[in-house]
Amino acid sequence: MTGMMSAMVLPAPHAPLVLEERPAPSPEPGEVRLMVEACGVCRTDLHVVDGELTQPKLPLIPGHEIVGRVDAIGAGVTGALLGRRVGVPWLGHTCGRCPYCMSARENLCDEPLFTGYTRDGGYATHVVADASYCFPLPESGDPATLAPLLCAGLIGWRTLKMAGPAEAIGIYGFGAAAHIVAQVAIAQGKRVHAFVRPGDRAAAGFALSLGAASAQDSDAPSPEPLDAALIFAPVGALIPRALAATKKGGAVVCGGIHMSDIPSFPYALLWEERRLLSVANLTREDAREFLALAPTLPLNMHVTRYPLAQANAALADLREGRLQGAAVLIP
């Protein structure tokens, strides 16, 4: 059942990924093995590679926006999954017994496993995943356009939900997650204002092309008071700016897993019942909800494809802000 596989492996933080040939893993009880069709390159991967997330399994195969077809199953897994296309997200396993799991908050599990961080991920031709944390995907269609839904889409969706009712939404940092959630919000009839890296005219134009009501530098004032602000850029200095742009009773939601330090700011920016929230991981219910919604929306997925062996180039392009939309590895 094993055979061989190719994988891009992180030997240590700050090191380039190395292409390796190794035996393909066999699924344990409750697991499935996928032949990977596509794997998105997420900013979280960059935080892992750059040592900003400090507890990876090493050596590590990164990647947690995985689309593939099941080619082997472990004991206890239904044979109906063989040959099916499924998606594997960041949340790879939860304990099922801690207070968070027992109260429908498995995203906060005390003993989780994360795909491409504490278990090997999808920068490879094959990957093993917990069958209970895989999600059915459309059997037809381009796997490269499905891959970003597995994290950029899911985290964007949870971030939007946590913002609560809102008509005017500011989005700070217009990368993969923002380009999906902006289209979701616009389809819901909301006004979206994009805030991009100062001077990044390409990102501003990209946001406008997707239907944003405005696009401006992140240090510019908002065209109107915001009901909510969603922050995807890992820049702590954006939090006071977003609070200043948000109405009384509004929310600022930080959608990233890592952010630079937040500078001090006057309490007046938070007062008047503004809320400052963070998003941690996702739940399987988030995934089921969003993956059912996505096909009903007019999502225009922008992806840049890279061969698996060019994973380091994809990460460099993401790090330097040279991408519009999402980067996707194709084994």
Task: Count the Cβ atoms, other than its own, within 10 Å of residue 65.
Answer: 33
User: Is the model's pLDDT at 54 over the cut of 60?
Assistant: yes
Residue 17, both tokens: 């990924």
pLDDT given at position 236: 97
Residue 228, both tokens: 């909510």
Q: How far apart are CA 137 and CA 205, in angstroms?
A: 31
- Tell me the mean pLDDT in the region 68-94: 96
- Rounded to the nearest 5 percent, the helix, strand and coil shares of the chain are 30, 30, 40
Task: Count the Cβ atoms, other than its own, within 10 Å of residue 89.
Answer: 27
Q: How far apart are CA 198 and CA 200, in angstroms?
A: 6
Residue 137, both tokens: 């995907």
User: Is the model's pLDDT at 38 over the cut of 60?
Assistant: yes
Distances from the Cα of 245 to the Cαs of 4, 169, 197, 221, 267, in angstroms?
53, 10, 17, 7, 14
Confidence band, pLDDT 50/70/90 cuts, at residue 34:
very high
User: Is the model's pLDDT at 1 over the cut of 60?
Assistant: no
Confidence band, pLDDT 50/70/90 cuts, at residue 2:
low
- Tell me the mean pLDDT in the region 102-130: 98
Q: Is the peptide bond before 198 cis (omega within 30 degrees of 0)?
A: no
Domains within the chain, CATH numbers bracketed: 4-150+301-330 (3.90.180.10), 153-278 (3.40.50.720)
Does residue 318 sit in helix, strand or coil? helix
**Contact in structure between 290 and 156 (CB atoms under 8 Å):** no
User: Is the model's pLDDT at 176 over the cut of 90?
Assistant: yes
pLDDT tens, position by position, 278-327 = 999 999 999 999 999 999 999 999 999 999 999 999 999 999 989 999 99
Supply the pTM of this predicted model: 0.94
Q: How far apart are CA 323 and CA 201, in angstroms?
A: 13
Residue 272, both tokens: 């008047």
Going through 232-302 in order, the beta strands assigned E by DSSP cover 246-254, 275-278
pLDDT given at position 48: 97
pLDDT tens, position by position, 139-174 = 988 999 999 999 999 999 999 999 999 999 999 999
**What percentage of residues in the chain have a pLDDT greater than 70?**
99
pLDDT given at position 184: 98
Q: How far apart are CA 285 and CA 87, in angstroms?
A: 14
Q: How far apart are CA 226 and CA 234, in angstroms?
A: 20
Scan for tokens 């040279």, then name that residue.
322
Which of 226, 227, 192, 240 has its CA nearest to residue 212?
192
Task: Name residue 86's beta-bridge partners.
Answer: 68, 136
Of how many residues is the chain composed?
A: 331
Going through the chain in order, the beta strands assigned E by DSSP cover 4-9, 18-23, 31-41, 65-73, 85-88, 91-93, 113-114, 126-130, 135-136, 168-172, 191-196, 214-217, 226-231, 246-254, 275-278, 303-307, 326-330
Which of 92, 113, 111, 89 has its CA nearest to residue 100?
111
Q: How far apart are CA 40 and CA 66, in angstroms?
A: 7
Does residue 245 sit in helix, strand or coil? helix
